Each structure stands twice: as C-alpha cells, then as structure tokens.
A and B are shown apart, each in its own frame.
Chain A
Amino acid sequence: MKYLLQRIAFYLFTMWAAITLNFFIPRMIPGDPVQAMIARFQGQMSTQAVASLYVLFGLDKKQSIWADYRGYWIQLFHGDLGLSFTFFPAPVSQVLAQSLPWTVALVGVTTLLSFMIGTMLGVFAGWRRGSWVDGLLPATTFLSSIPYFWLGLIAIALLAGPGSFFPSSGGYDPGLVPAFDGYFIPSAIRHSLLPALTILVSSVSGWILSMRNMMVTVASEDYITVAHAKGLSEKRVMFGYAARNALLPNVSGFALALGFIVGGTLLVEIVFSYPGLGYQLFQAVGAKDYPLMQGIFLIITLSVLLANLLADVAYLALDPRTRKEG
C-alpha cells in the first residue's frame, strides 16, 4: 500500500511537471497565434475582429506570466482548454471530446485484441516449440518489420478502392450523422476494419515473441518440473504455472501499450484519414493550432501516466514479491 502511494505521489509530480511544460513551451515559441490566424484568413478580417480575437485568446491582458500560469490551472480544473484556432470558435475540449472516442475505440480495441491473440499464440509457441505457431513467427515478424506507413498504404492499394468492401478513408460514410443506430454503427465498423487489421498485423508479432521467449524461460524453472512431477494436468501446468508466471513482464508492456494508444495512432489515422485524435494532432500541427496541440499533448501525457499507474497496480496484484508488508 505504501509503495502504491509512493508511486501515485510520483505520478502526480510528473503530471504537474508535464502540465507546466505544456504551459511554457507554446509561450516560448516565437510568433503570434493571432497573426498566424490573420494570415490564414488572408486579410479578410476586420480590425475589430482581430481585437476581439486577442481578447478571446486572452492575449490582450498585459499580466505577469505567473498570473497567466495561475489562470491556466484554474481553467484546467474547469475543463477549459481554450479555443481551437482551426475550429474557431469551438473550444478545444469539444474538439477532443469528438475525436477521442474514435481513437479509443479503434486503437484501444485492437491493442487489446493484439495483446490477447499474441499472448495466447506465444503461450502455445513457447510451450510446444516447433509446433505450427512457430511456423507462423517468421511471417508475422516480417509483417511487423514493414514500416506501418507502408503497410497501411499497401493495404489501401490492395484491398480498398472504388467498389471494394473496405473504404479507404474516414470513420463513417459521409452522408451519415453520428448516432447509435443501425445505419451509423455498421458503417463505422466497416471503416475501422482495415485500420484495425493493419494495426493488428504490425503489432501482434511483438506479443507473440515476447510471450514465447518468456514461456521458454519459465518452462525450465524448477517449479515447472515440480508441477509436472506432482502429476498436475498438462493444461494446469501450462496455464496455471508457466503462462501465469510468463505473463508478468508482458502485463507491464501491455499497460504501456495502452498508454501509447492516444499518442501512437498518428500514422494510422493519417494513412486512413481516421477522425481520431492522431489525425486531429496532425491537422493542428499543420495549422499551428497551439491550444489544440496543448490539449492533445495533455491527454497523451495523462494517458501514459495512467497506464503506468495501471501497470503498477497490475504488478502488485499479480506478483506477490512486489508487495511489501506494512
């Protein structure tokens, strides 16, 4: 328990540091977002509109940076992340709320699937070396060694296209309104299949390999021989003893992978023009939309920290050796 509290304190500190950096970095970048915006609208803005922009972005007040910093925290606690430039005048929080579910649903589900499938195959490959799963390994390793960008483009070129079942871009058919109904859901699922498949193909071999290697290591442990000598069933030894112990290092790997869901989808979403957070970030960078970038970075930071905490909790739950008394 004490250990967990220590970890939580550490993560809170890290969070503070990350948010503070998040506050300062955009302010150190030369340039003026309003000027950038004016340039974007190519002079079609009245001076009045420009003045109101300065007020809106909070750039009119000549207050100290500390007062700014305090205000930033107060805003954060109210869930106010400022206004997006690109989707002006929509608040950043609203933009995030729209794109986050897409990312979490697509990459979250595939990360989970990839972990489960890969771990399962790894268990078998490690337990019975030389079985058909081992034969699968070179193929999956080859697929995962292709840069994701290429894999996505190749998948689009081969499988998507006019008249194909797989759409090549977007999250749903353009004519539909997002809603939980019989038109939208199937369309959304159809659009997610190809990106999901490519993520799966490129990530599953990592799980297979690490689980397989851990299984091989654990299988030569004394307690596995003892489990056999005890006359336990093959299944019990394989899952209850070998896989159970081999899983430990993979669990933290999985938690970290969950943390990178938000940050790691950039390529997927760019290739498939998927309306998630990564695509949003891509657009925000192109448009110098600092508030939106800040908001996305904040979410990435938080999710990585949360995942780390999750890894700690999982380890405490699964490995009694990490539990310290008191």
Chain B
Amino acid sequence: MKDPVLEIRDLNVDYGLGDQAVHAVRDVSLTLHRGEVLGLAGESGSGKSTLAYGLTRLLPPPGVIRGGQVIYHPAAGPAYDVMALSHAELRAFRWAETSIVFQGAMNSLNPVYKVSTQLLDVIRAHEPRMPASARLARARELLRLVGIAADRMDSYPHQLSGGMRQRVMIGMALALEPQIVIMDEPTTALDVVMQRQILRQLIELRERLGFSVLFITHDLSLLVEFSDRIAIMYGGRIVEEAPAPALYRDSLHPYSDGLLHSFPALRGERRELTGIPGSPPDLRNMPTGCSFHPRCSKAFEPCPDRVPVLGHPRTPDGRTRTVACWLHPATG
C-alpha cells in the first residue's frame, strides 16, 4: 500500500451542544494516500461538507468537533494531529498543506477585489519573503495552469463566467503546491461538459504536481470515472470504501448499490435506473441499528438492533475494501 498523507480517525462533528446537538459526522475514519484521488459520495445532507469543514477546522458555528484525530503527514518531517494545532500553526497549515475548493465556488471570490489581489494575498501570507515580481509570476502561472488567460488577472469576479471563477478557485487551491486538495462539489453549478473538462484538467495537474485529492460529490458516476478509491457516506457515517472499479463492479452495501443506480453512467454498460426508496434519515432522530435499514430491501434480523461496524468483508478482495453492513460482517 502507498503512504498515507491524511488519516482521519474517529472524527465526530456536531452542530449545537447538549441534547439539541445534531451528530452530522459520526466516528468517521478515512485514509487519503499520497497522490490518489479519493472520492466521497452520499446523498445531500449525509455530512460530506461537514467532514471537509471539520478536518480543516473551518466549521461555521454552531459546528463543533466532538472528538477524533486528523493525522497529517507532511512531505518532510514527522506527522502531526491537525486538531491539536495552535491557531498560528493552523494558519500556516491551511492552504500551504491542505487547500479547499468549496461547494459554493461561484461565491468564493470576494467581489470587491481583483482576481490578482486574491491570488497574491494568499501567497504573500504564506511566503512573505518571496519578492513581489516572483509572486506575480506565480499567480500568472496558476491561471495558465487552469486555462485562463493572464490578462484576466485584473478582472473582478463579476466579470468572469461561473466556469472561469471555478477555475480561478482551482488555480488558487494550487497556489502553494499543497499536498492535499479538498474539492467539495467544485463543479455542481456547471453543465456536464464543462464539469468533465475541468475535472480532466484537474487530474492532469495532479499527475504533474503529485498532490492528493479528496473529491466530494453526490454524483457517483463522476467518481467512478475520475477517482482511485471511493468512500460512501450515509447519515454521517462511512458505510463502504473500496477501489473505484471494485465499487462500480460489485458494491457490497445496498446503499452504494442504490446510489450507483440513481445516476446514468456515461461510460460502460447501460444500467437500470432504480434509485433508493424513501428519504435520507433525519439526523435528529436516527433509526436504531443500521441507519439505512428502513430503506433497505435486504434488511434482516440484526439490522434494526445493532449498528454494523466498518470492517473488511469476507470477499476475495476483502483486504482492499471495507463495508459496514450485516450482509457482510467484518472479519476478525
């Protein structure tokens, strides 16, 4: 196996405190390896964005991290826990080690500053000793990387199209050559052709620059195409994780199966579109046992009572994948 670059261990994130708290992320453990694209999929409200905000400690109030570790392995030097960093250390960690392209990438640029200002200020904040001319050259280079003409440097965000703004954000995410780029549905606001064009560019860049990507989306077909491994999230928990081809070929969790059948795949054989009956769980009032059991066609005796743990299934490729389902009880 490849080296890990980010290990999320038992991360728990709540919105609110005490009895009113909503457990949006529950005991999530997930490992991102160096140079890979890890896809994270799940229905709306399953906690994908919360996980991304949580592991960078960017949760807006009333979000709180209730527990867990996020171990980061820098390119050189010992690993450390992001959750234990001081404010100053955290500021230095952000963007330089892990950058994010947010779900609302359309509104991620400050409307009153030029694109160049916003590209330059992050470089200046992290590399104050770099000469101004070098910073400028870097900013131009970044725009070129994402296919935007350098004369757009002096544009204001409202003068750019949605796709261009998204590209600017992707370029900005690479400004400090971070090890990890988190992408939270970076392209959902775009049309399908544009989405794929941007993603293809991103994958190309990754091969050249060698960063890892945590790619969040609810469009599983996109992940099957672009990611190395896929994790499926349901009701705040990871319910299955597997290499992309394996998940596509034979998903073990009935929920993954349902998700795969909710989207028409652009490539490969035609699949029947069935979708998942019922609606996503209410986080304030989660079902007992496996939270998916009320919607699951294969639910049986243990499902309503006991929560299945995420573990390696007894399948031939069992060592490379994990699932939390009573149909495939964990080994060991």
Interface residues of A (CB under 8 A from B): 220-223, 225-234, 236, 240-241, 244-245, 248, 318-321
Contacts and interface: CB of A to CB of B under 8 A. Distances in A.
B111 to A, nearest CB: 6
A241 B122 CA distance: 13
Q: Which 7 A-B pairs have the closest CB atoms?
A: A231-B94, A222-B107, A222-B104, A320-B156, A230-B122, A223-B110, A231-B91
A232 B122 contact: yes
B8 interface: no
Given A225-B60, A236-B125, A230 B95 contact: yes
Contacts of B94: 228-231
Interface residues of B, number: 30
A321 B58 contact: no
B122 A225 contact: no
A223 B94 CA distance: 15
A231 B173 CA distance: 12
A229 B112 contact: no
B116 to A, nearest CB: 13
A227 B96 CA distance: 13
Contacts of B109: 223, 226
Interface of B: 56, 58, 60, 87, 90-96, 99-100, 102, 104, 107-112, 114, 121-122, 125-126, 156, 158, 169, 172
B95 A245 contact: no
Contacts of B172: 230
Contacts of B90: 231
Contacts of A236: 121, 125
Contacts of A220: 60
A321 B158 contact: yes
A323 B125 CA distance: 29
A245 B93 contact: no
Contacts of B169: 226
Nearest to B121: A232
B93 A231 contact: yes
Given A231-B91, A321-B156, A226 B108 contact: yes
B181 to A, nearest CB: 11
A229 B121 contact: no
Nearest to B125: A232
A314 to B, nearest CB: 13
A233 B125 CA distance: 8
A112 B329 CA distance: 71
Contacts of B102: 222, 225-226, 229
Contacts of B87: 234
Given A229-B58, A233-B125, A245 B110 contact: yes
A229 to B, nearest CB: 5
B310 to A, nearest CB: 28
B36 to A, nearest CB: 22
A222 B109 CA distance: 8
A319 B112 contact: yes
